[in-house]
Amino acid sequence: MSTALSSSLPAPTTRSSRRNFIRRFGAGGTTLAWLTQVLRAETPANPAIPSDLLFTSTKRLAALIKAKSLSSTELVKATIARIEQVNPALNAVVFPVFERALQEAARADEAQAKGLLMGPLHGVPCTIKDSHEVQGVRSTGGTLGRKDFLPARDATYVARVRKAGAIILGKTNTPELTLSGQTTNLIYGKTHNPYKLGYQPGGSTGGGAAIIAAGGSPFDLGTDFGGSIRGPSHFCGIAGIKPQFGRVPRTGHIVDFGGYFDPFQVIGPMARWVEDLTLLLPLISGPDGIDAAIAPVPWSEPGKVDLKSIKVVMYIENGSEKACTPETAAAVKRTAALFTALGVTVIEDCPKALIKESQELRNALSTADGRAWTKRLLKKYGTSQISPVISLTDQPQCDTAEFARLAQEMDLNRTKFLQWIKPYDLLICPANAGPAEPWPVEPRWTPPARGNYGYTATFNNTGWPGTVVRAGTSPEGLPIGVQLITKPWREDVSLAAAAFVEASPGFGFQKPTAV
């Protein structure tokens, strides 16, 4: 902390109670207001990203710490206070480690004073989904068999953000084994949407999405097996990217790597702002020598993408019997219009037959083994009582010959999709047919309705990358996101497009009003 700036700060309160944290660093606190003034004065102007300390970007916070205009301790205290303020209503952060975070912040400040920076995230706090292993921190994955599990090491990608200097504030809620779109479990209960309490945040990274949107964490690390990054990002109005399959190791996740379903599962970052996804994703990417599916594919910088030269395709309805809400359709059209105004030709085309085939193959394959895969996971973790939001018995299974046929048909479907996307560089489509829905009184698993196809799982089947960014609002005040899908390994195009959309008037993150 520079002399001129530190002279304006109140005396340190390292032994303050949690109540004092809130009083000193809460939304109306003088220190927080002062730090916001510093942020406004010392970071580059960007109309899409506010100067509010709790709602600005990870990248800008890291820049302030690096410039010694903000200490890690100040920032960690401010985010702790915000979590304490909003979490009773949200139930998003289910296992806080605040004392540990403050100790790490103090060490980060000591290193900074000596001119030593760990990396691009030096001293910046974050939260981590409870399905990821964090050394010495309870990591349950929402399943009762692991309610007291303390990992001996960090998951690969957790270790990478910590090596870059990030400080973990706590674990965020997830459905059991991450295998549901409803973020609730038998250990911690339901998480609520910060835009409308009593509504769902999506799943499975619902806790992370909710606390990011509420200003309690700059970023979180999510997982996406069928939309578990993109769905909550849509429902909670933040930005999230499902990377290309093969980009980020899954080592240390409760559903890790291997087996037929391996291509569906990816790890990726979630934040309020797209520039943070661009910062975070390269940090967690690349082989770790354990997850054999991860390829050493070079990272391409989104800033080098010329959006005026790309070819764009869009669709709204995808052949599902569940139609999009008018506001969802309008959000996709408004997003496409941004590219048209840029001088890009936007083609409307939807491979409805391929989507239908892909969804039906996925549904058949997911139950082809009689859910033996899920049962093995539960046995591995010692869980005998399961959450009602996941299913073990309600779907048909098939014999080995039929399973082999389904697997072959899925591979052929992926080839057909590659042929369809060949003329295009970017696909714009809904992230979901509608906004977040209310929590049912008794949440439970409901099998996929025949003829009802979601918008996200298709691209777990293909393996392609895709970013979600806010593009609209429902009549109830709930966020509506759009999905920006690209060809294999072209996260740079997806992120460049998302940054362009986010910076446009009326698009991008907006502060919630319910908390």
pLDDT of residue 287: 98
Confidence of residue 442 (pLDDT cuts 50, 70, 90): very high
353 and 320 Cβ atoms separated by less than 8 Å: no
Confidence of residue 454 (pLDDT cuts 50, 70, 90): very high
Active site residues: 129, 204, 228
pLDDT above 90 as % of the chain: 87
pLDDT of residue 249: 98
pLDDT of residue 18: 40
The whole-number average pLDDT for the span 74-84 is: 98
Beta pairing, strands 312-314 & 426-430: parallel
Tens digits of residue pLDDT in 178-222: 999 999 999 999 999 999 999 999 999 999 999 999 999 999 999
Minimum mean pLDDT range among 2-6, 435-439, 496-500: 2-6
- CA–CA dist 510, 491 (Å, integer): 24
In single-letter form, the type of residue at position 353 comes to A
427 and 485 Cβ atoms separated by less than 8 Å: yes
Structure token digits, residue 513: 């009003």
Residue 490 has pLDDT above 90, yes or no: yes
CA geometry: angle 123, 54, 59, nearest 5 deg = 50
pLDDT of residue 57: 98
Residue 3 has pLDDT above 50, yes or no: no
Confidence of residue 361 (pLDDT cuts 50, 70, 90): very high
Residue 348 has pLDDT above 60, yes or no: yes
Confidence of residue 394 (pLDDT cuts 50, 70, 90): low
Angle between helices 72-90 and 98-113 (to 10 degrees): 160
Rounded to the nearest integer, the mean pLDDT of the chain is: 92
Confidence of residue 391 (pLDDT cuts 50, 70, 90): confident
282 and 243 Cβ atoms separated by less than 8 Å: no
pLDDT of residue 396: 73
The whole-number average pLDDT for the span 462-472 is: 98
Confidence of residue 33 (pLDDT cuts 50, 70, 90): low
Q: What share of the chain is helix, strand, coil (3-state, %, to 5)?
A: 40, 15, 50
Task: Kindly write down the DSSP assignment for every residue of 181-248, as one continuous string.
Answer: SS---TTT----BTTBTTB---SSSHHHHHHHHTTS-SEEEEEESSSTTHHHHHHHT-EEEEPPTTSS
pLDDT of residue 46: 55
In single-letter form, the type of residue at position 104 comes to E
Alpha-carbon distances, residue 383 vs 376, 390, 392, 395 (angstroms): 10, 13, 13, 21
Tens digits of residue pLDDT in 251-287: 999 999 999 999 999 999 999 999 999 999 999 999 9
- CA–CA dist 104, 497 (Å, integer): 36
7 and 69 Cβ atoms separated by less than 8 Å: no
Tens digits of residue pLDDT in 471-483: 999 999 999 999 9
Question: What are φ and ψ of residue 145, in 5° steps?
Answer: -65, -20
Residue 25 has pLDDT above 50, yes or no: no
Task: Kindly write down the DSSP assignment for every residue of 66-119, as one continuous string.
Answer: HTTSS-HHHHHHHHHHHHHHHHHHH--EEEE-HHHHHHHHHHHHHHHHTT---S
Per-domain boundaries in the chain: 29-502
Residue 27 has pLDDT above 90, yes or no: no
Residue 44 has pLDDT above 50, yes or no: no
Structure token digits, residue 291: 């997850």
228 and 222 Cβ atoms separated by less than 8 Å: yes
Q: CA torsion angle for 391, 394, 400, 404 (degrees, to 10)?
A: -70
The whole-number average pLDDT for the span 299-325 is: 97
Other CB atoms closer than 10 Å to residue 296's CB: what's the count?
Answer: 8
| Residue that wins the pLDDT comparison between 46 and 10 | 46
Residue 457 has pLDDT above 50, yes or no: yes
pLDDT of residue 411: 98
Give the burial class of 93: count Cβ atoms within 10 A of its Cβ; 0-12 exposed, 13-18 middle, 19 or more buried: buried
Tens digits of residue pLDDT in 231-254: 999 999 999 999 999 999 999 999
| Residue that wins the pLDDT comparison between 28 and 391 | 391
168 and 154 Cβ atoms separated by less than 8 Å: no
Alpha-carbon distances, residue 345 vs 293, 313, 342, 376, 395 (angstroms): 36, 9, 9, 49, 44
pLDDT of residue 31: 53
- CA–CA dist 192, 208 (Å, integer): 11
The CATH number fitting domain 29-502, selected from 3.90.550.10, 3.40.50.720, 3.90.1150.10, 3.90.1300.10: 3.90.1300.10
Confidence of residue 45 (pLDDT cuts 50, 70, 90): very low
Question: What are φ and ψ of residue 270, in 5° steps?
Answer: -135, 140
Q: Is 470 helix (H, G, I), strand (E, B) or coil?
A: strand
Q: How far is CA 398 from the centre of its chain?
A: 34
- CA–CA dist 515, 511 (Å, integer): 9
Residue 118 has pLDDT above 50, yes or no: yes
